[in-house]
Amino acid sequence: MISGGGTGGHIYPAIAIAKAWNEKYPESEVLFVGAEGKMEMQKVPEAGYRIEGLRIAGLQRRLTLDNLWFPLKVLDSLQKASKLIKNFKPHLVVGVGGYASGPVLFAAQRKKIPTLIQEQNSYAGLTNKVLAKRADAICVAYPDMDRYFPAQKIRYTGNPVRKDILDLKDKKEKAMNHFGLQPAKPVILSIGGSLGARTLNHALLGSMAQFEKNGYQVLWQTGKFYHEEVSKKVAESGLKNIHPMEFIRDMDLAYSAADLVISRSGALSVSELSLVGKPVIFIPSPNVAEDHQTKNAMAFVSQHAALLLKDSEAVADLAPTVIGLLQDPDKQQKLSNAIKLLAKPDAAKEIVNVMENLLQ
């Protein structure tokens, strides 16, 4: 049983773990448990797995009517989690973070079923810190996580990523043709998540004329909320080498085309980019719990493996930072070499090994 979700950063590693497990044990049955109304309820069935939903939701930081329902939702979710475990009879329960992870792992631990936590971020959330006390193993993506978890339970596996990211070799020409890009001009790739990142989009709108003037192309995932606004402004500008897209499905081709990547620093993005090995400028989102995106990015910046721009400085500083980096091949190479050293390409397989050990 695999529980959790809420964001792609939780869901995609969970699916990668399930697929790596089923590759080795195709007869094994995997049941996902998510939160009703969250994206896992769509993404998990699309990946070919069954999912059950809990009514669990987060506690709002301000006083709302939803907060009055929170205790009832927790009790309801605990009861349903216990019932699912009773009926499914899992030999092992994996929690990947997100609302549903708490009730399911708690219920499994009460029934003495082995549990494993997969923590994607460099900062552990409150739920995982509480559940870790009774978990059998904790798979982490960053060193020094004994600040949050019992050292003897930690396994440094990295974050599982999509298989197509693991092999970008010989895809450059196909990528340039796929996106209609010119082979002779450097490509800047900007990714801010499926919904979009306001600061990244505004920073690129303010920088795109300078990028085109310098002979650069921009492959730009605007996100759902900003695509109409961005597309209109790009069309009005008359710029020919700026390519806004609402969502990029073929991320392996996007990474292959890129000479430089601008990105938020969610756990999944950071793990993917370490495998991609291109120079990266992280612009952490300030709107996340405990500022964990900054902590994720700093784990790389401290190893001279990426550059960081604060969200508040991005609009003013993006253009000079990008242009300065693209004009410095030596610095690009050093960043590329350093970020590859932090990659964990076999994370899903390593997590499967930990799961096997718990079952034995």
**DSSP SS3 for 142:** coil
What percent of the chain stands above pLDDT 90? 81
Q: How confident is the model at residue 60 (pLDDT cuts 50, 70, 90)?
A: low
Judge whether 271 is annotated as a binding position.
yes
Eight-class DSSP state of 59: P
Residue 165: the pLDDT is 86
CA distances from 147 to 131, 233, 241, 276 (A): 15, 46, 46, 29
Same domain for 179 and 131? no
CA distances from 61 to 66, 76, 103 (A): 11, 21, 20
85-95 pLDDT per residue, tens? 999 999 999 99
- Cα–Cα nearest to 290, from 30, 41, 44, 97: 97
Same domain for 332 and 185? yes
Judge whether 268 is annotated as a binding position.
yes
Give the whole-angstrom CA distance, residue 326 versus residue 33. Answer: 44
Judge whether 248 is annotated as a binding position.
yes
Same domain for 186 and 327? yes
| Mean pLDDT to the nearest integer, 171-180 | 96
Judge whether 64 is annotated as a binding position.
no
Same domain for 236 and 101? no
Residue 93: the pLDDT is 98
Same domain for 138 and 20? yes
Judge whether 121 is annotated as a binding position.
yes
Judge whether 270 is annotated as a binding position.
yes
Same domain for 49 and 135? yes
Judge whether 285 is annotated as a binding position.
no
Average pLDDT, the chain: 93
Residue 70: the pLDDT is 65
Judge whether 162 is annotated as a binding position.
yes
* Residue 176, domain CATH: 3.40.50.2000
Q: How confident is the model at residue 162 (pLDDT cuts 50, 70, 90)?
A: confident
Q: How confident is the model at residue 75 (pLDDT cuts 50, 70, 90)?
A: confident
Give the whole-angstrom CA distance, residue 143 versus residue 125. Answer: 16
pTM recorded for the entire structure: 0.88
- Give me the number of domains the chain comprises: 2
Same domain for 168 and 256? yes
Q: How confident is the model at residue 287 (pLDDT cuts 50, 70, 90)?
A: confident
Residue 18 CA neighbour count, 13 Å, CB half: 25
Domain span holding position 115: 2-159+345-359
Judge whether 37 is annotated as a binding position.
no
